[in-house]
Amino acid sequence: MESSRRRFIKMAGIAAVGLSAHPAIKAVAAAPEHGPQYTLKTGDQALQAKQWAMVIDTRRLKTDHDLEPLIEACHKTHNVPHFTEKNHEIKWIWETHFHNAFPGNTSNYMSEEVEHRPYLVLCNHCQNPPCVRACPTKATFKRDSDGVVMMDMHRCIGCRFCMAACPYGSRSFNFKDPLLGLNEKEINLTFPRRMKGVVEKCNFCVERLAVGQRPACVEASGGALLFGDLTDPDSEVRHALRENFTIRRKPSLGTEPCVYYIV
Amino acid sequence: MNDKKWIVLGLILFVGLFSFPFWFNVGKAAPAPEVVLTEQAKAAKECVMPTDFMKTEHMQLLDVWRLKVVRDGVSQFVNADGKEFDMSLSNTCLDCHSNKAEFCDRCHNYASVNPYCWDCHIDNPKGDK
């Protein structure tokens, strides 16, 4: 092969480019060497599932009195503030009327008892959650590890698109500093509060599942609320679904709610 | 050319005034703050990671913690010595360093950083004020 000046300069140019990339390559390639020496794992006690789901036996929750302790348990555990003004209300789990819970499911001349029972509603942790698609920062997302629709408070910018997207009204916005609605003495010191300007909602008690406890409302319900893995045919919820006729909220929207109701 | 002495004098004055902040502050650098360890921390002897790492990287570590706990549902941290910790800001860091004012804050005030974590996270997990 003949060597020419032109060829020599070409090769020198390529070599120069290669050399200039060296620091960048070194930075990337060398990183693992002094990487952190620790490992992460799920707790030994942690309850695990592919898709958590809940079955609410409304036959066993007949009056406001039956619901109150469950709501109280949730709101205490998560430091959910109490504001009397409707506009500022924060709710993770609350009661509503049949017509609001299941619009489109009403029939004429219904059983009065069924129609006037209080219905417990919360985030449905949908399998096809519209709020997740609306979030511009991925602050709300469907967690791969357990199917919970999570709120990452650290990313929430308070735009409230998720609230507009949720067909169940499961989300509340902190218009005020939540500390104003909390009793200093009753704060659960093991769970964070929230701040003004973020959206919040039920988290299916992920912090309790991580240490082997079932959700606070389920624990307080004395068996009226069932909780388990929807993908496991032997789970508590799958047994309940097999043995009872259940309905879900607004199924026609295609959100695939994971909270089922025995009526 | 008999302005020479004025020019030199002016220059000396100028340099002197210009460098005033430097020589005025010589030897007055604020001393690095002393952080106080609680009895519980003293008994534990070691932090979750080696002290040098904690001094420079604790913010990155906390970022990993919250990312893993919230987004991946992974909650346990095992350090190089095999010791296990719950990945929690208030329930782990502030369990040992429960004297936030004399530990985290003292250093942060010196470095002029003001983490916003405490708007939500409890800064007195043991309930004392």
Q: Which of B66, B70, B79 sits opposite A38 (nearest CB)?
A: B79
Say how far apart CA A69 and CA B118 lie, in whole Å: 29
In a domain, A128, yes or no: yes
Domain extent for B89: 39-119
Work out the average pLDDT over A170-176.
96
In a domain, A14, yes or no: no
Contact B120 A38 (CB under 8 A): no
Residue with tokens 């910018």: A157
Is A38 touching B (CB cutoff 8 A)?
A: yes
Q: By the 8 A CB rule, do A255 and A167 touch?
A: yes
Q: What is the pLDDT of residue A24?
A: 64
In a domain, A25, yes or no: no
Contact A42 B91 (CB under 8 A): no
CA distance A40 to chain B (A): 5
At A53-103, the pLDDT tens digits run 999 999 999 999 999 999 999 999 999 999 999 999 999 999 999 999 999
Work out the average pLDDT over A13-22.
79
Mutate to test the interface with B, among A137, A138, A174, A189 (most CBs of B within 10 A): A189
In a domain, A11, yes or no: no
What residues of B are in the A interface, CB distance below 8 Å?
A: 49, 53, 57, 61, 66, 68-80, 86-87, 90-91, 119-122, 124-127
In a domain, B128, yes or no: no
Annotate chain B with DSSP letters as a single string. Answer: -TTHHHHHHHHHHHHHHHTHHHHHTTT-PPPPPPPPPPHHHHHH-S-SS-HHHHHHHHHHHHHHHHIIIIII---EEE-TT--EEE--IIIIIHHH---GGGTHHHHHHHHT---GGGGTS-S-TTS--
Work out the average pLDDT over B10-31.
84
Contact B91 A190 (CB under 8 A): yes
Q: Which of A37, A40, A154 sits opposite B68 (nearest CB)?
A: A40
Which residues fall within 8 angstroms of residue A104, CB to CB, at 6 or more apart?
A: A250, A252
In a domain, B32, yes or no: no
Q: Which residues of B touch A153 (CB under 8 A)?
A: 70, 120
Tokens of A215: 């959700």
In a domain, A19, yes or no: no
Tokens of B53: 């790492």
Alpha-carbon distances of B116 from A179, B88, B119, B121, B127, rounded to whole Å = 15, 16, 6, 9, 20
The complex scores an ipTM of 0.80
Q: What is the pLDDT of residue A160?
A: 97
Q: What is the pLDDT of residue B85?
A: 95
Contact B74 A41 (CB under 8 A): yes
In a domain, B70, yes or no: yes
In a domain, A147, yes or no: yes
In a domain, A39, yes or no: yes
Say how far apart CA B89 and CA B108 lie, in whole Å: 16
Q: By the 8 A CB rule, do A244 and A38 touch?
A: no
Is A192 touching B (CB cutoff 8 A)?
A: yes
**A34: pLDDT strictly greater than 60:** no
In a domain, A225, yes or no: yes
Chain A CA closest to residue B74: A42
For the entire predicted model, the pTM comes to 0.86
Q: Which residues of B touch A187 (CB under 8 A)?
A: 122
Q: Which of B69, B80, B122 sits opposite A38 (nearest CB)?
A: B80
At B74-113, the pLDDT tens digits run 999 999 989 999 999 999 999 999 999 999 999 999 999 9
In a domain, B64, yes or no: yes
In a domain, B91, yes or no: yes
Alpha-carbon distances of A242 from A222, A246, A251, rounded to whole Å = 21, 9, 18
Is A183 touching B (CB cutoff 8 A)?
A: no
Annotate chain A with DSSP letters as a single string. Answer: ----HHHHHHHHHHHHHHHHTHHHHHHHHHGGGG----EEE--SS----SSEEEEEEGGG--SHHHHHHHHHHHHHHTT----SSGGG---SEEEE-HHHHSTT---TT--HHHHHS-EEEE----SS-HHHHH-SSS-EEE-TTT--EEE-TTT-----HHHHH-TT---EE-SS-GGGGS-GGG--TTS----TT-EE---TTHHHHTTT---HHHHHTTTSEEEEETT-TTSHHHHHHHHS-EE-SSGGGS---SEEEE-
Q: How much is the CA Rg of chain B, to the nearest whole Å?
A: 24
Question: In degrees to the nearest 10, what's the CA dihedral of A263, A201, A139, A154?
Answer: -150
In a domain, B95, yes or no: yes
The sign one gets for the Cα dihedral A140, A73, A215, A249 is negative
**Structural domain count, chain B:** 1
Contact A152 B121 (CB under 8 A): no
**Structural domain count, chain A:** 1
Is A186 touching B (CB cutoff 8 A)?
A: no
Domain extent for A122: 31-262
| CATH number of the domain bearing residue A193 | 3.30.70.20
Is A143 touching B (CB cutoff 8 A)?
A: yes
Q: Which of A42, A192, A206 sits opposite B76 (nearest CB)?
A: A42
Say how far apart CA A165 and CA A253 lie, in whole Å: 12
